[in-house]
Each structure stands twice: as C-alpha cells, then as structure tokens.
Structure 1
Amino acid sequence: MRATSTATVNVPIEKAWAVLADHAGMSKWGPITATVEKPGAPERDGVGAVRRIAAPGPAPAIVEEITAYDAPTRLGYKALAGVPFKDYAGEVVLSPAGNGTRIEWTLSAGSRVPLVEQAALKAVSLVLLKAYTGYLKKSA
C-alpha cells in the first residue's frame, strides 16, 4: 500500500535538500525533537544513519534508518520502531520546477486493514509534507 503527496515550493533544490537531509534539523519543522542516534557513512546523515523523532505526549518515539541518500534528489528511510504500520517506509524525491522545487513524499506499508491504513498513510504523508514545506517557506 502506498500514499503520495506532492507540492512545489519557490526554494532552490539545493536548499530544499539541505533542510530535508538535516535529520536533527527536523526539530525546526514543528513540535518534535529529532536526534541522530547513529551516524551514516560516509555522510553523517546518509545511508545507515538512525534518527529518533519524538513528539510531545505519550506516543513512543519513531526510530528510522536512512536507506537512500542521493543528494540533492532522493532520501529514503524505513521505520525501525514507533509506528503503527507494518513495514513502514518513506521516500522523498526532489526535482527542479522552474526556480523552485517539486517535492514528492511517498509512504508505503504492508496492509492489514487496507481502507483504514490507506487513509491514515495518506494523512501522515500530507502532515509530513505540510511541516516540511511550511518550514521551507518560512526560511526562504
């Protein structure tokens, strides 16, 4: 099962990538705390990096491993813990769009309750995209 959300922002792709690839910097997107628990190689935030994302409240922290790091166009990750979806993974693809950047945020997961999980996956992709683009627009 997959869900994709897209947006275009008036920010150069290099800046959009710098924000996306800065895992600890995700804390600037909204009311979360993001830390890098294990650096990737050869880039600190690259393949193999493990990030922990915690939100206020009782929900467990989300722990993700970076699985793709193709600067400045593609970042992939998979959940190691903290998400209610089976086999949860994400991929963000950036592409030039005039003077700005087109963002395609795709989430995938194994299906146990298809209609409910599909709607939830789409909602999560929209929330992530909105937080990311909101921060990009503020910092432009």
Structure 2
Amino acid sequence: MSQPTATATATVARPVDHVWAVLADHEGMSSWGPGLHVTLDETGDEDRNGVGAVRRISAPGPAPAIVEEIVAFEPGSLLGYRARAGVPFKNYGGEVRLTPVDGGTRIDYAISLDERVPLVEKGAAALVARVLLTALVRASKR
C-alpha cells in the first residue's frame, strides 16, 4: 500500500485470533452494517479469503457495489485490499494491521488514495477509516 492518507486506531478487549476471524471473513462483513451484503466473486490463491480473493460489497440505495481485491493477507496480523470498482477515489485501498496488546488487540485501519483535491479527499479518507474501524470493533466485540 502506498503512504496512508488516513489512519484510525482502536483497541478491542478480544484476542488477535478472534479479531482476525472477524476481519478475514469477507462474507461475514454482511453483519457489520444494516443492509450490507458481501459476496466473494473470486476466492483467494492459497486461502479462500486470502490474496487474490475478490469481494463485492453492496449497500442499500443506488450506489454501485464496491469491488475489492485482497492484496495482502498475513493471518493474525495484516489484511490489505484495493478497490477495483465502485469507489469515487483513484487508487483507493485499505490496510488493517492487528497487534496483540495487554488486554486485547490494537487495530490500525489505514486508507490510501490519490489526493486530487487534498483537503476533501483527506477528510473523506479519515471518515472512511473511522467508520470501517468502528464497524470492525463493534463486530469483534460479539
């Protein structure tokens, strides 16, 4: 991933393996938000949800589905993706890093994109990182 445009960080009182199980279950993302529907268009090369997997994220409303390819997959520590379609940003991608800490797991959620209008896109990336991190933390607490 290129230099992150925005990063959001949180700690959840759950072990890394639990948070990883939530993060790496692409189809399970359907439970993260109301009306969200996630399917795998393609499975990964060595792991069903790993590098090469392509996920399609549909939400209610007229917006197109977001199609993302998994580009980094290190079980228990790192998941990276890049958008293929459905986002208004050029070279949009995300990287989620999990780190064990006392009492749980630190989650660093980074978003990168080409900044054509830096203030607008940096603000949008920060919002996306915070929303996705909040959803992951909520899902991990279950």
TM-score by length of 2: 0.95
Pairwise mapping of residues 21-100 of structure 1 onto structure 2 (< 5 A)?
21-31=24-34, 32-100=36-104
Instruction: Please say if 1:20 is aligned against 2:23.
Output: yes
Task: List structure 1 segments (4+ residues) > 2 angstroms apart after TM superposition.
Answer: none
Residue of structure 1 equivalent to 2:11 = 8
> What is the identity, as a one-letter code, of the residue corresponding to 1:22?
D
Identity fraction in percent: 57
C-alpha distance in structure 2 between counterparts of 1:99 and 1:73, whole Å: 17
Instruction: Please say if 1:103 is aligned against 2:81.
Output: no
1:41 offset after TM fit, Å? 1.4
| Root mean square deviation of aligned Cα | 0.7
1:135 offset after TM fit, Å? 1.3
SS, match of residue 116 in structure 1 = helix
> What is the identity, as a one-letter code, of the residue corresponding to 2:104?
G
C-alpha distance in structure 1 between counterparts of 2:127 and 2:97, whole Å: 18
Counterpart among 113, 117, 121 of residue 121 in structure 2: 117
SS, match of residue 6 in structure 1 = strand
C-alpha distance in structure 2 between counterparts of 1:53 and 1:81, whole Å: 10
The number of residue pairs the alignment matches comes to: 138
TM-score by length of 1: 0.97
C-alpha distance in structure 1 between counterparts of 2:117 and 2:52, whole Å: 30
Q: Which has a greater percent of strand?
A: 1
1:25 offset after TM fit, Å? 0.3
Q: Which runs of 5+ in 2 are unaligned?
A: none
C-alpha distance in structure 1 between counterparts of 2:115 and 2:123, whole Å: 12
Q: Which runs of 5+ in 1 are unaligned?
A: none
